[in-house]
A and B are shown apart, each in its own frame.
Chain A
């Protein structure tokens, strides 16, 4: 088991390196750098000015060197401009050659400096992740129990009225992406045309002061889309368990139906959904980006949109590291958890 986890960690590290390099490569293509130069410097720069702006700030070095600097294995670029301003990968506004460290990269715990927000990337990501973490906590709290309940109730008696209506419900939720359900919810519950006005159409205030009124719709929108899929998987696993031999034995020896479901079936039926819930995290990340844009909630997804829209290279890299980390760790947890939950499977 230890060896297995070690190998998985190795693969994870390799994946993360490859992915960040891809992001690095794509954000460092010349047209993207040109856009960066024009947004940071001056919109009306000529082509020569763009090149010299980029060269002065070390953006024209070979990609591998720049990647090494970002990782912290190559000394950071440093240069003093003609007007005496000190610039470089490790430089911050107001820093001098003496106060700037030689290496500054992920290995040194320095995530870089955001060109859009004019702030340390580490602090931005931490703050935005905090907002998103709060959102995700409530999403999971709403989504997982509801989905499991729906799935178990539907799979308990295959083909019954309850099964058919709950299955229809879960098919409809899987067919409704967040930007559709969000728009429909905003239209019904917040607009002055329909006139219900139960909730707020934006979650901007929810960052400081989350209330049921301004926070429930974003949570519901993300939860619904993921819920259907988990519920369908739970239903499939529950129906499979309910046809198993030991359930028939339990029925024949006269155990009551509620006891069969609660004591015999449920525990076995919940193994498969555990994996599904874990693998659902990457999709939740998508939902987060859409919903945060739709409801104007300034979290991780919102930061992603801002970073990508303005080609903020270091912020974008940090965001991709975090999201790749989330994806890979949930995969690992799902694999390990599956082994622990299901004693029939043992990894050599």
Chain B
């Protein structure tokens, strides 16, 4: 087998891409300079009442920027499109593009459907009016689909944990020395220093992030909302106490907290299990209060609804916190939990402690945001109207204040997923929590950095993956903010 070059038989596109990129860079620079130097376009009012602006140099510069941007995008799309059809014939780029085929198809379907029905989709549909939001959403969904399909073993070329002899630190595109039948014959992005496939590890790493980050952020929001609403609405002693607690956690440097909480010794004491038991109860409280405050006037409907919903929630809660029949299982003592035959899923101690500490670090910030919003909104007229109507405080908090605070909260949710991703990477970077062979991006960067001056390829793909995901979430948040301000 021949080693793959980067672009293979698509090499004729390389000069075109270079020219397009240089043109883009030059026109961006000219565009910025022109906006400073050139005068603003003069508006002239015509006799018939219409307004026209003289084109001049400015519009010329903008046209140049637009066309060079289109040319760069078109070349990149050409690489990917031809790559999907030619596969390894088009070098590493082509092979990677072909491996990502399910992701491309899902992205195209998702965008086509969303754009077609965007008027009926509320805030989500409005996202497709803002180019920045669309780019961010595309980046985020790219990694979400990559994570999902990677977990289904669709994209990966090799097992991310298997070491193949002779592939240690090999450069991207190296063929396997003696491939078996049905085995992918190249390491597309090279091998790491334990001779594992960098590409497959990157794809598998996406799944870890896509699993943990949104869920941990959601739990942090549940905790923050359940505590922040009463703190902001009631104020007084409760607020002072909760704010003090929140500031206490916020005053901790995050890394010190991680080093104290996410160690095998702490897992052995069962502290994370206690924290999980406390933190995970907040979603149940939230749902219970949410439904009860809405439907308590209709007991016939409320009681079965609450029994059903809470039954499932408590079952999930118990199976979440209990592992192997115990809630806490240390050498010294153990507390009985859900029996194993009722336990839906087990979370390994390492993952649980990572999850708990990420929730723990994020919830005080959410608390402060929610508290601030609640303090602002509780002075509005519709809250006064609800109070006059005789609604209970929890109804006002959850069904009057919370829906009106959703704009900033949704934006912050996106940003916070990005921040959680960074935190997960930090944990991996310091080798805390997740097992050392785990393919998550932080651990991979940490392993790759040790040989960085000689071999770049093991560390750069996960670093760029993390960068693009977080960038996507930031852009998405910006787009959402822009669109929700237009409401």
Instruction: Please report A residues at the B interface, Cβ cutoff 8 Å.
Output: 11, 14-15, 18-19, 23, 26-27, 29-32, 34-35, 157, 160-162, 165, 171-172, 174-177, 179-180, 183-184, 186-187, 190-194, 201, 282, 285-286, 289-290, 293-294, 301, 304-305, 308-309, 311, 316, 319-320, 323-324, 327-328
Interface contact B456-A187, CB-CB below 8 Å:
yes
- Chain B residues with Cβ below 8 Å from A14 are 244
Instruction: Choose from B255, B426, B475 the contact partner of A177 (Cβ within 8 Å).
Output: B426
Residue of B nearest to A294 (CB): B449
Q: Check B456–A193 contact: CB distance below 8 A.
A: yes
Q: Which B residues are CB-close (under 8 A) to A305?
A: 259, 430
B418 close to A (CB within 8 Å): yes
What 9 A-B pairs are tightest by C-beta distance, nearest first? A308-B259, A161-B35, A31-B265, A175-B471, A175-B470, A177-B422, A180-B463, A31-B268, A26-B260
* B160 on interface, CB distance cutoff 8 Å: no
Most A CB within 10 A of own CB, among B255, B418, B430, B467: B255
A316 to B255, CA, bound (A): 12
**Is B251 in contact with A191, judged by CB distance below 8 angstroms?**
no
The 8 A CB mask of B308-342 against A (1 = contact, 0 = none) is: 00000000000000000000000010000000000
Verify B32–A161 contact, CB threshold 8 A. Answer: yes
| Contact across chains for B260 and A308 when beta carbons are under 8 A apart | yes
Interface residue? B256 (CB, 8 A): yes
Give the shortest distance, in Å, between B186 (CB) and chain A (any CB).
20
What chain B residues lie within 8 Å of A32 (beta carbons)? Answer: 263, 265-266
Q: Which residues of B are found within 8 Å of A174, using beta-carbon distances?
A: 474
CA distance in complex: A177, B427 (Å): 12
A residues in contact with B1, CB < 8 Å:
none
Are B260 and A175 in contact, with the CB atoms below 8 A?
Answer: no
For A184, the chain B residues whose CB sits under 8 A away are: 460, 463-464
Question: Complex Cα distance A19/B248, Å?
Answer: 7
Name the prevailing secondary structure of the A interface residues.
helix
- Seed contacts A161-B31, A175-B470; 13 additional CB < 8 Å A-B pairs: A15-B244, A157-B35, A165-B31, A172-B471, A179-B425, A180-B463, A180-B466, A183-B463, A286-B253, A286-B254, A311-B265, A320-B253, A323-B253
Closest to A182 in B: B449
In the complex, the chain A residue whose C-beta lies closest to that of B254 is A286
Complex CA–CA separation, A328 to B253 (angstroms): 11
Q: Is the CB of B260 within 8 A of A328?
A: no
Contacts of A29 in B (CB 8 A): 265-266, 269, 271
CA distance in complex: A39, B418 (Å): 38
| Nearest CB on B from A174, distance (A) | 6
Contact indicator A194/B456 (Cβ below 8 Å): yes
Known contacts A179-B442, A180-B467; A308/B256 CB under 8 A: yes
The residue that A171 contacts in the complex, of B253, B448, B471, with Cβ under 8 A, is B471
Set of chain A residues within 8 Å of B253, measured between Cβ atoms: 282, 285-286, 289, 304, 320, 323, 327
Q: A184-B463, A290-B426 are in contact. Are A323 and B256 (CB under 8 A)?
A: yes
1/0 per residue B455-487: CB within 8 Å of A?
Answer: 110011001101100110111001000000000
Interface size class of B (residues with CB under 8 A): 35 or more
What is the predominant secondary structure among interface residues of chain B facing chain A? helix
CA distance A304 to B259 in the complex (A): 9
In the bound assembly, the distance between CA atoms of A19 and B474 in angstroms comes to: 32
C-alpha gap A311/B463 in the complex (Å): 30
Q: Are B265 and A175 in contact (CB under 8 A)?
A: no
Given contacts A180-B463, A305-B259, contact A186 B32 (CB under 8 A): no
Residues of chain B within 8 A of A328, CB atoms compared: 251
11 A-B pairs within 8 Å (CB atoms) are namely: A32-B265, A161-B35, A174-B474, A176-B467, A180-B463, A180-B466, A183-B448, A187-B460, A192-B454, A324-B251, A327-B253
B387 within 8 A of A: no
Q: Does A183 lie within 8 Å of B449, measured CB to CB?
A: yes
CB distance from B256 to the nearest CB of A (A): 6
Check A31–B266 contact: CB distance below 8 A. Answer: yes
B103 an interface residue at 8 Å Cβ cutoff? no
- A31-B265, A180-B425 are contacts. A175–B467 as well, Cβ < 8 Å? yes
State the CA gap A320–B35 with chains docked (Å): 49
Shortest C-beta distance, A173 to chain B (Å), equals 10
Question: CB-CB < 8 A to A18: which residues of B?
Answer: 248
Complex contact B260–A191 (CB within 8 A): no
Least Cβ distance of B413 to chain A in Å?
16
A311 to B455, CA, bound (A): 34
Pairwise interchain contact B35-A175, C-beta atoms closer than 8 A: no
CB distance from B364 to the nearest CB of A (A): 12
Q: With the chains together, A33 CA to B226 CA distance in Å?
A: 37
| B:387-434 near A, CB below 8 Å | 418, 422, 425-426, 429-430
Minimal Cβ-Cβ distance residue in A for B448: A183
**Cβ-based interface call for B453 (8 A):** yes
Contacts of B463 in A (CB 8 A): 179-180, 183-184
- Is B184 part of the contact surface with A, judged by Cβ < 8 Å? no
Contact A27 B259 (CB under 8 A): no
Complex alpha-carbon distance, A192 and B32, angstroms: 35
| Nearest CB of A to B447, in Å | 11
With beta carbons under 8 angstroms apart, the residue of A31, A157, A172, A187 that contacts B452 is A187
B107 CB, min distance to chain A CBs, angstroms? 20
Decide: B453 and A190 in contact? CB cutoff 8 A: yes
A305–B255 Cα distance when bound, in Å, is: 9
Q: A179-B445, A304-B256 are in contact. Are A186 and B265 (CB under 8 A)?
A: no
Q: CB within 8 A of B35: which of A162, A171, A286, A324?
A: A162
List chain A residues, Cβ under 8 A from B453.
Answer: 186, 190-192, 201
* B96 close to chain A: CB less than 8 A: no
> Please, what's the 1-or-0 string for B76-108, where 1 marks a CB less than 8 Å from any CB in chain A?
000000000000000000000000000000000
B459 touches A191 (CB 8 A): no
Q: For residue A209, give the distance in angstroms from its CB to the closest CB of chain B.
A: 20
Q: Chain B's nearest CB lies how many Å from the CB of A283? A: 8
Question: Would B266 and A26 count as touching, CB distance under 8 A?
Answer: yes
CA distance A165 to B69 in the complex (A): 14
Is B28 among interface residues, defined by CB-CB distance under 8 A?
yes
How far does the alpha carbon of A179 sit from the alpha carbon of B456 in the complex, in Å? 14
> How long is the Cα–Cα vector from A165 to B456 in the complex, in angstroms?
29
Query: How far is B32's CA from A26's CA once the two chains are assembled, in angstroms?
Result: 54
A33→B355 CA distance, assembly (Å): 25
A31 to B163 alpha-carbon distance, docked (Å): 34
Q: Is the CB of A187 within 8 A of B459?
A: yes
